[in-house]
């Protein structure tokens, strides 16, 4: 079993990923796919004239401020446009994909953060009208039911809170939770960069291997969205996943490349 | 087994419908739900400044002209905002809902109409860039797999075409196809009217019962969206469904009311 996270940035080779996955599934591999939609989210919020605000938590992690209007756009982009477009594309390539969000069958069930401490303009603030949170449990029964019947789960955020509200959760960390809950051997995180870079503007500075025990030495290389990928990698490994690979989603056979350890391997 | 179609107009009592359904499922009833999102579709297309065009086919049926930009909005509203909001609401009421579109697992598989003959301003025209079509098959395996595992399928259009494009299909007719394919005894079509009315502006003119053999005598009472509901009812009955009930979605226990034949029964 492997979990594949496909980033939501620009330049992703979806056709290449799905064709590659189709060959692997034909050869007996089991897989669950998780996807993002970050770029499309920016496109829609601009069209709807919804100014987006990024928050930086006191521990230095960046996330999208998700008020009710942003959550509505989030549902439309992630669960609507992107999830269904990718499901149709995967079906066309021969993968029997079923698109799901974390809301469906309480697939990703969690807790909303009722107050978030952030730093804005150098000052500490408390944010209360944000709809984001953390995943507490994964409904593996729904995933196993679909896998056993021959379907490929194609999953996106949001999760569902204990108060039954959709909540924004990070896609990489959702994929890590799913990989741990499903007992996956491998979590592959594909995005539009080759892996973790020493210098984020220079693709030749790729870090090929990080041992879990030494990850703290490498964390300072992770900037922006890469920070949550590293956090997800640690969560997956601590949850029993054998290895996590950050790899490039722009190549011809991105999953094969990741399996050949072209990227950053964390184990 | 019953299939319940919930209309997408204004004034629908979703909480009442889901509480009512929860009690029925607790009592051993099996159900599949199909929903629309017509009102929310108008809201989004206005916000996005996407002028909507209604087409009238040469046989007199009205439908939404679905060009690629409209299909994108359709995916966002039906599969995103409305399907996931209703799934979260149902989960909060204790129904273990899984939201699905016709794209997922080829649940609703069909054929795009490559050219549609319409009448506009009294003239016949041929429309070629429309993404709508008709359902040819229902993937009952996906529905039975979920039902057997204790999940409630909550389904919306679009369907998936043979060329793997999402296609707009009418929700009432989709519900009819699902009811026939699943061998349902009953199809309940809930909307914001009490049933088929002799005078669409006078709710006291409800037609309580129509025999299938005499439906042609009543078809002229069906105006606008009601025409497709009648078409769906005929398709369901001809597909082996025992009875179809058009009933009011605005009351306290809309499903019980329908089961008590408060509405228009067609059999």
> pLDDT of B98-132, one tens digit each?
999 999 999 999 999 988 888 888 899 898 889 99
Q: Which of B22, B73, B98 to mutate to test the interface with A (most CBs of A within 10 A)?
A: B98
CB spacing of B149 vs A141 below 8 angstroms = yes
CA distance A85 to chain B (A): 8
pLDDT at B56 over 90: no
Mean pLDDT of chain B: 96
Burial B174-198 (b: 16+ CB within 10 A, else e): bbbbbbbbbebebbbbbbebbbbbe
Which residues in B have their CB inside 8 Å of a CB on A? 44, 47-48, 72, 75-81, 83-85, 87-89, 91-92, 96-101, 103-106, 141-142, 145-146, 149, 151, 158, 160, 163-166
What kind of fold does domain B2-266 have according to CATH? Carbamate kinase (3.40.1160)
The pLDDT of residue A102 is 98
| pLDDT mean over B243-249 | 98
User: Which of 3.40.1350.10, 3.10.330.10, 1.20.120.1750, 3.40.1160.10 is the CATH number of A2-49+74-108+136-266?
Assistant: 3.40.1160.10
> pLDDT digits over B23-40, tens only?
999 999 999 999 999 999
- Tell me the C-alpha to C-alpha distance, in Å, between residue A62 and each of A43, A56, A77: 19, 4, 20
Bridge partners of A138?
A108
pLDDT in tens, B196-232: 999 999 999 999 999 999 999 999 999 888 999 999 9
> Does the distance separating the beta carbons of A96 and B105 come in below 8 Å?
yes
Q: State how far residue A258 is from chain B, nearest Cα, in angstroms.
A: 27
Local confidence pLDDT in tens for the 267 residues of chain A: 999 999 999 999 999 999 999 999 999 999 999 999 999 999 999 999 999 988 888 888 888 899 999 999 999 999 999 999 999 999 999 999 999 999 999 999 999 998 888 888 889 999 888 999 999 999 999 999 999 999 999 999 999 999 999 999 999 999 999 999 999 999 999 999 999 999 999 999 999 999 999 999 999 999 888 999 999 999 999 999 999 999 999 999 999 999 999 999 999
Is the per-residue pLDDT at B260 higher than 90? yes
Interface A–B counts its CB contacts (< 8 A) at 123
Q: What CA–CA distance (Å, rounded) separates B27 from B147? A: 15
- B215 Cα to chain A: minimum distance (Å): 37
Pairing state between β B133-138 and B108-112 = antiparallel
| Subunit contact B105:A151, Cβ cutoff 8 A | yes
> Among A89-98, B19-28, B58-67, B81-90, whose mean pLDDT is lowest?
B58-67
How many whole angstroms separate alpha carbon B138 and alpha carbon B173? 12
pTM: predicted TM-score of the whole model, two decimal places: 0.97
Which residue from B minimizes the CA distance to A165? B88
Nearest to B81 among A72, A91, A106 (CB): A72
Domain ranges for chain B: 2-266
Q: CA distances (Å), B250 to each of A115, B92, B257, in order?
A: 37, 20, 11
Rounded mean pLDDT of B227-256?
A: 97
The pLDDT score that the predictor gives to residue B62 is: 83
Cα B240 to Cα B128: distance, rounded to the nearest angstrom = 34
Q: What is the pLDDT of residue A59?
A: 81
Chain A residues within an 8 Å CB radius of B106: 91, 96
Provide the pLDDT for residue B41.
97
The stretches of chain B forming alpha helices (DSSP H) are 14-26, 38-47, 68-74, 83-92, 140-148, 171-181, 226-238, 254-259
Are the C-beta atoms of A102 and A132 separated by less than 8 Å? no
Check CB contact under 8 Å for A72 and B79: no
Q: What pLDDT does residue A120 have?
A: 86
- Best of B73, B77, B88, B166 to substitute, by most chain A Cβ atoms within 10 angstroms, is B88
Q: How far is B163 from chain A (nearest CA, A)?
A: 7
Residue B44 has pLDDT above 90, yes or no: yes
**B-chain residue closest to A70, CA distance:** B81
* CB-based contact A84 B75, cutoff 8 Å: yes
- Please give the pLDDT value at position B203: 93
How would residue B66 be classed by pLDDT, with cut points 50, 70 and 90?
very high
Closest-CA residue of B relative to A93 is B164
Residues 6+ away with beta carbon under 8 Å from A196 = A206, A207, A210, A218, A221, A222, A226, A229, A230, A246, A264
Q: Do A142 and B98 touch (CB under 8 A)?
A: yes
Hey, are the CB atoms on B105 and A98 less than 8 Å from each other?
A: yes
């Amino acid at each position: 079993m492997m979990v594949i996270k496909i980033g939501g940035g620009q330049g992703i080779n979806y056709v290449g990923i799905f064709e590659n996955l189709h060959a692997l599934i034909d050869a007996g591999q089991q897989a669950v796919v998780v996807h993002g939609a970050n770029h499309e989210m920016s496109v829609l919020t601009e069209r709807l004239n919804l100014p987006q605000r990024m928050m930086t938590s006191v521990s230095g992690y960046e996330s999208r401020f998700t008020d009710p209007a942003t959550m509505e756009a989030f549902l439309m982009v992630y669960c609507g446009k992107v999830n269904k477009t990718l499901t149709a594309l995967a079906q066309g390539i021969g993968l029997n994909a079923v698109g799901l969000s974390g809301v469906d069958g309480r697939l990703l069930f969690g807790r909303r953060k009722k107050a978030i401490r952030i730093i804005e303009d150098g000052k500490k603030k408390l944010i209360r009208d944000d709809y984001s949170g953390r995943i507490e449990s994964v409904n593996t029964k729904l995933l196993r039911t679909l896998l056993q019947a021959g379907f490929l789960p194609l999953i996106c955020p949001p999760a569902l809170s204990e108060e039954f509200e959709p909540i924004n959760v990070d896609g990489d960390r959702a994929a890590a939770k799913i990989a741990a809950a499903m007992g996956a051997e491998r979590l592959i995180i594909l995005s539009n960069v080759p892996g973790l870079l020493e210098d984020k503007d220079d693709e030749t500075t790729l870090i090929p291997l990080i041992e879990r025990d030494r990850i703290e030495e490498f964390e300072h290389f992770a900037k922006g969205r890469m920070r949550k990928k590293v956090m997800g990698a640690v969560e997956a490994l601590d949850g029993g996943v054998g290895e996590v690979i950050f790899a490039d989603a722009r190549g011809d056979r991105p999953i094969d490349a990741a399996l050949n350890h072209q990227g950053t391997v964390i184990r």
